[in-house]
């Protein structure tokens, strides 16, 4: 009931910045992240809210959630605005400040538009309540912010892919009826991250729309790959990963149509469908708990589907037959290994997945196994029959001959359900898809995955601070007393270093 009520509010002000506080079974407060203590009547409905179906149910709207940190963020943004240069950047910061002061997510959208329009800056930054992965209802978002320096050489390379995106998405298997009428050309930026303040640092992100490639850990043990293939895997891992992320973010998330009813109640076509998006409904609000992971599954599958596209491979420098076949094979092998490792995030007791991307990879791996592209090789103790090791094997010839077709069928299953807002059918299909293949996967193999898992990586984030020279030293060395220096603060690679980094960030 409260979820439904929160969704109604979400249509008005986008509930990604809200938290629900329960006072009793009939009285709740919806906490809204903002600096200001009053809510604009233009942005929010009158408080308290009452349910039409349950008159006793009351929801109070309460501003100033996280007002302390947001006040400091706004103060820092005002200071940054003095040095931001172009008009677009100044306008972007103004919209940021309005969003954080008033809780106005429309202002954050306008800031995002200005940010996207500011093409190819040397320094990139983006912040706000963005991703909803950690919310069980996939509605409320975690705060995040990054500062990064653009990798110009790599960005130029990926710009070629962007330039051809319009016609490349036309090759996707669901046909023109379910593809967007006009593909909005994204601005792909490859970034070297200075600092990323969030709970989990992604390898690539799509926020309307930037893409970030983060460094992979060196010398990581290659588990669940047959010894005969480990040298090849190590050689192609990073190159395959770059291709996968680019296709995933640029052509995966940006493609596919959602059939939406017009605000006046009319429809865009006369074709009969049984379900569609009502005005104000979004993919996230309609599909709920499966939305995030199923979208990641769709984007991952697009990356697999397009890994054989000769035009894309040429952009990445793969024109020789051997290289073309190898990177196709490796793309499927990387996905299959990720699917095995995804068991670490699966709870066999609750039948729940703890991570959206890993759930998607497990589902794709299961699809590959069911369609003969992959298989699991077991290594057991000859006496006790205990599972000692396991290797995920991918049939290279089947991948080259049938891989695209098989992944295309999965894409159609997902995209059609997304397009016609078939939330019920999608939940049933996706739950079955991402259920481990058999009892072995839920028991012995999962135990082996947990036994072999690498120590969890802890990222120690650096900070920057402004150094104000003293007047005496400035005058003595001839420097301008108004000159400011920026110092990079680094920290030891320890748990204490992580804590010190967070404390010095002072948010």
User: CA 507, CA 490: separation in Å to the nearest integer?
Assistant: 17
H, E, C per residue of 85-98: CCHHHHHHHHHHHH
Annotated catalytic residue, options 91, 102, 144, 249: 249
First to last CA, the chain: 34
Angle in degrees, CA 192, 248, 229, rounded to 5: 85
**Encoding tokens for residue 66?**
């996280």
Phi, psi angle pair for 415, to nearest 5°: -65, -40
3-state helix, strand, coil in the chain (%, to 5): 50, 15, 35
H/E element holding 304? helix 291-306
Nearest to 140, CA basis, from 3, 295, 297: 3
* Count of C-beta atoms within a 10 Å radius of residue 188: 20
Q: Is 249 in the active site?
A: yes
**Encoding tokens for residue 157?**
């390379």
Nearest to 295, CA basis, from 327, 329, 328, 258: 258
**Encoding tokens for residue 77?**
């943004």
Plot region of 395 (φ>0 → left; ψ -120 to 50 → alpha; else → beta): beta
Catalytic residues: 249
């Amino acid at each position: 009931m409260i979820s439904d009520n929160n969704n109604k509010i979400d249509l008005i002000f986008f509930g990604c910045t809200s938290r629900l506080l329960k006072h009793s079974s009939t009285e709740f407060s919806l906490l809204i992240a903002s600096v200001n203590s009053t809510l604009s009547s233009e942005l929010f409905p009158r408080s308290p809210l009452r349910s039409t179906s349950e008159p006793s149910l009351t929801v109070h709207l309460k501003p100033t959630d996280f007002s302390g940190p947001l006040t400091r963020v706004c103060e820092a943004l005002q200071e940054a605005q003095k040095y931001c240069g172009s008009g677009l950047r100044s306008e972007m910061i103004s919209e940021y400040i309005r969003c954080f002061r008033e809780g106005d997510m429309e202002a954050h959208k306008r800031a995002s538009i200005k940010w996207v329009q500011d093409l190819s800056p040397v320094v990139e930054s983006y912040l706000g309540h963005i991703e909803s992965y950690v919310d069980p209802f996939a509605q409320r978002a975690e705060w995040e912010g990054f500062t990064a320096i653009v990798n110009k050489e790599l960005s130029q390379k990926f710009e070629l892919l962007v330039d051809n995106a319009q016609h490349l998405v036309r090759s996707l298997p669901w046909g023109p009826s379910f593809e967007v009428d006009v593909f909005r050309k994204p601005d792909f930026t490859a970034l070297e991250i200075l600092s990323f303040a969030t709970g989990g640092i992604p390898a690539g992100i799509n926020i309307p729309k930037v893409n970030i490639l983060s460094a992979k850990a060196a010398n990581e043990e290659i588990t669940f790959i047959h010894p005969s293939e480990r040298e090849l895997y190590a050689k192609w891992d990073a190159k395959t990963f770059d291709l996968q992320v680019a296709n995933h973010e640029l052509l995966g998330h940006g493609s596919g149509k959602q059939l939406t009813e017009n605000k006046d109640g009319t429809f865009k076509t006369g074709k009969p469908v049984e379900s569609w998006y009502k005005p104000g409904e979004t993919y996230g609000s309609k599909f709920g708990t499966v939305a995030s992971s199923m979208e990641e599954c769709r984007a991952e599958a697009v990356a697999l589907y397009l890994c054989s596209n000769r035009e894309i491979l040429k952009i990445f420098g793969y024109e020789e037959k051997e290289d073309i076949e190898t990177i196709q094979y490796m793309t499927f092998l990387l996905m299959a290994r990720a699917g095995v490792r995804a068991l670490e995030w699966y709870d066999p007791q609750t039948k729940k997945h703890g991570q959206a991307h890993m759930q998607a990879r497990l589902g794709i791996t299961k699809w590959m196994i069911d369609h003969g592209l992959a298989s699991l090789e077991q290594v057991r103790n000859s006496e006790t029959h205990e599972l000692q090791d396991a290797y995920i094997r991918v049939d290279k010839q089947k991948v080259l001959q049938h891989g695209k077709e098989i992944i295309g069928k999965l894409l159609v299953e997902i995209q059609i359900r997304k397009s016609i807002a078939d939330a019920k059918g999608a939940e049933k299909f996706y739950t079955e898809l991402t259920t481990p293949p058999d009892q072995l996967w839920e028991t012995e193999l999962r135990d082996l995955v947990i036994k072999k898992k690498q120590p969890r990586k802890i990222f120690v984030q650096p900070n920057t601070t402004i150094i104000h020279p003293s007047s005496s030293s400035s005058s003595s060395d001839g420097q301008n007393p108004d000159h400011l220096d920026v110092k990079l603060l680094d920290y030891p690679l320890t748990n204490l270093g992580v804590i010190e980094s967070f404390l010095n960030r002072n948010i």
